[in-house]
């Protein structure tokens, strides 16, 4: 199977680069939506009520908090709907940071909306906060559903806190996270039936119906429809399973018209192997070889979760795919020198890039970090790249250093930046690609920056699924 990596029987059609201006347009639309929400609140006497007294001011401020919270919640939905142009413009690491920021901001504004509205209504009705809360929940249309929505969103936010998320399996966290969609759906009747800003203005109704329908369409089209269509079109199945190193397994996949799959080397897809229980849980694995004729390859490290199943897959197992996703691709390469830093199974997306990028002999340097020689996967394939493409490879083998460092312990006689410059003399003018565990990547990025490489020339992406 390895020989197929370089045999280009059918040319793969890489998708065209995303126009640079698209990111500015997408960001501007998100900001504009928040301005529109604020303008609608202002047009519905929001400012006058804010200044009209304590009780009406609290109610008006609560309305604004609820409107902005709802808008941010819908922005979150679109961010994580896996819209291809958004994915390729920003990359999963930035999208995930914005999703997290928008999520926690939206949640805090939602809590503020509840508290301010209850206080404002209680002040107007001249009754206690608990009595007013009961009246709102029991007598106002849609409020019971809104209360259930709040409970679901609390569950999602609590399990998204880093300390809680570290204690959950990825599959459990992902399943709980899906309740956010149900929470948003349950909150909608409250806005339609009792939302003053929705009921009082035709412009507000037009805006909110538009953004809700756009968010729904983005999920139905990009998160559900497109993966189903691609899985049916390409009919992917397992062709072979190959051990690469202890705990590291490659899976060769066969399908129809894979040269039409709009994936670039360095990207990842979400995979579901239809081999029995657990098939419904998707896992993000990078391509370790780009589509080539009717074959492509992923490589997986056994991390103790469902990834262990990969080594037991049998040829002929059907596969469902979502994606491709990610920006760790050749379209960000400026041409000229390349330095790649890989740690462990992080070699997989970089190996695919090394096959795809049209660098000249001697222009590409790979620094391959592993704890032991047995952990160095793809030795024969890298030797082939050295012989056929002129790749320069340095294997950095040994236990890790005590302090944060990307080098093994034995190499700590010089600074990380000096070691990088010695191993890749032209690194300051190179495009640098790196992939590995988060702590190692952070240490490597510090050394890359100290070696004089601008941040704009450093290409890395953390999986955010």
Per-residue model confidence as pLDDT tens digits over 98-136: 888 888 898 889 889 888 888 888 888 788 878 877 877
Q: Which CATH class is domain 235-325?
A: mainly beta
In angstroms, the CA 377 to CA 296 distance is 17
In angstroms, the CA 68 to CA 38 distance is 8
Q: Is 318 exposed, middle or buried (0-12, 13-18, 19+ CB in 10 A)?
A: middle
Whether residue 54 has pLDDT greater than 50: yes
SS3 310: helix
Lowest-confidence region among 181-195, 238-252, 371-385: 181-195
- The fraction of the chain above a pLDDT of 70, given in percent, is 86
Whether residue 361 has pLDDT greater than 90: yes
SS3 193: helix
Residue 183 or residue 456, greater confidence: 456
Residue matched to tokens 């504009």 = 32
Helices and strands in the chain: count of H runs, count of E runs: 17, 11
Q: What is the CATH number of domain 330-460?
A: 3.40.50.80
Per-residue model confidence as pLDDT tens digits over 17-53: 777 778 888 889 999 999 999 998 898 888 888 888 8
In angstroms, the CA 97 to CA 461 distance is 12
Question: Where along the chain do its domains lie?
Answer: 20-228, 235-325, 330-460
In angstroms, the CA 339 to CA 366 distance is 6
Dihedral sign for Cα 352, 353, 357, 361, please. negative
Per-residue model confidence as pLDDT tens digits over 194-245: 666 676 778 888 898 899 899 999 999 998 999 999 999 999 999 999 888 8
Q: What mean pLDDT is reported for the chain?
A: 82
Residue matched to tokens 């990088």 = 420
Query: In the chain, what is the greatest distance between 2 CA atoms, to the nearest angstrom?
Result: 84
Whether residue 96 has pLDDT greater than 60: yes
Strand (E) or helix (H) holding 296: strand 295-301
Degrees, nearest 5: CA angle 64-69-72: 125
- The reply to whether domains 235-325 and 330-460 share a CATH topology is no
Length of the chain: 465
What's the pLDDT score for residue 4? 42
In angstroms, the CA 298 to CA 251 distance is 5
Beta bridge partners of 249: 243, 300
What's the pLDDT score for residue 165? 63
In angstroms, the CA 206 to CA 183 distance is 22
Residue 400 or residue 320, greater confidence: 320
- The fraction of the chain above a pLDDT of 90, given in percent, is 24
Question: The pTM is what?
Answer: 0.78
What's the pLDDT score for residue 6? 42
Residue 231 or residue 162, greater confidence: 231
Lowest-confidence region among 212-221, 299-308, 445-454: 299-308
DSSP letter at 282 equals -
């Amino acid at each position: 199977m390895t020989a197929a990596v370089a045999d280009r029987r059918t040319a793969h059609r890489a998708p065209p680069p995303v126009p640079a201006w698209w990111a500015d347009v997408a960001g501007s639309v998100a900001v504009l939506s928040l301005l529109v929400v604020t303008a609608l609140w202002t047009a519905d006497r929001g400012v006058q009520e804010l200044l009209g007294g304590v009780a009406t001011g609290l109610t008006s401020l609560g309305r604004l908090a609820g409107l902005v919270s709802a808008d941010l919640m819908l922005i979150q939905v679109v961010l994580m709907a896996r819209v291809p142009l958004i994915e390729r413009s920003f990359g999963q690491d930035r999208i995930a940071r914005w999703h997290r920021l928008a999520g926690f901001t939206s949640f805090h504004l939602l809590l503020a909306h509840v508290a301010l509205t209850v206080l404002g209504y209680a002040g107007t009705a001249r009754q206690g906060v608990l009595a007013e809360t009961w009246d709102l929940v029991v007598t106002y249309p849609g409020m019971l559903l809104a209360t259930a929505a709040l409970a679901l969103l609390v569950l999602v936010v609590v399990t998204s806190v880093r300390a809680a998320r570290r204690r959950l399996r990825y599959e459990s966290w992902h399943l709980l996270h899906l309740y956010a969609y149900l929470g948003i759906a349950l909150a909608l009747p409250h806005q339609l039936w009792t939302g003053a800003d929705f009921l009082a203005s035709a412009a507000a109704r037009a805006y909110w119906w538009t953004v809700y329908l756009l968010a729904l369409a983005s999920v139905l089209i990009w998160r559900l429809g497109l993966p189903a269509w691609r899985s049916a079109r390409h009919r992917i199945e397992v062709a072979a399973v190959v051990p690469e190193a202890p705990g590291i397994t490659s899976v060769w996949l066969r399908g129809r018209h894979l040269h039409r799959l709009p994936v670039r080397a360095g990207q990842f897809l979400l995979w579901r192997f239809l081999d029995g229980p657990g098939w419904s849980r998707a896992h993000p694995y990078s391509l370790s070889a780009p589509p080539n004729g009717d074959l492509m390859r992923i490589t997986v490290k056994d991390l103790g979760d469902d990834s262990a199943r990969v080594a037991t897959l049998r040829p002929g197992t059907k596969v469902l795919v979502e994606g491709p996703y990610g920006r760790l691709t050749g379209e960000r390469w400026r041409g000229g020198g390349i330095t790649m830093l890989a740690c462990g199974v992080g070699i997989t997306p970089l190996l695919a890039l090394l096959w795809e990028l049209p660098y000249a002999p001697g222009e590409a340097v790979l620094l391959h970090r592993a704890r032991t020689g047995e952990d160095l996967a793809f030795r024969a394939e890298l030797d082939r790249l050295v012989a056929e493409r002129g790749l320069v490879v340095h294997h950095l083998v040994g236990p890790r250093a005590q302090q944060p460092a990307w080098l093994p312990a034995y190499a700590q006689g010089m600074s990380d930046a000096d070691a990088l410059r010695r191993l890749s003399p032209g690194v300051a003018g190179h495009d640098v690609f790196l992939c590995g565990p988060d702590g190692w990547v952070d240490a490597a990025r510090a050394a890359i920056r100290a070696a004089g490489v601008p941040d704009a020339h450093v290409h890395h992406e953390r999986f955010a699924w």
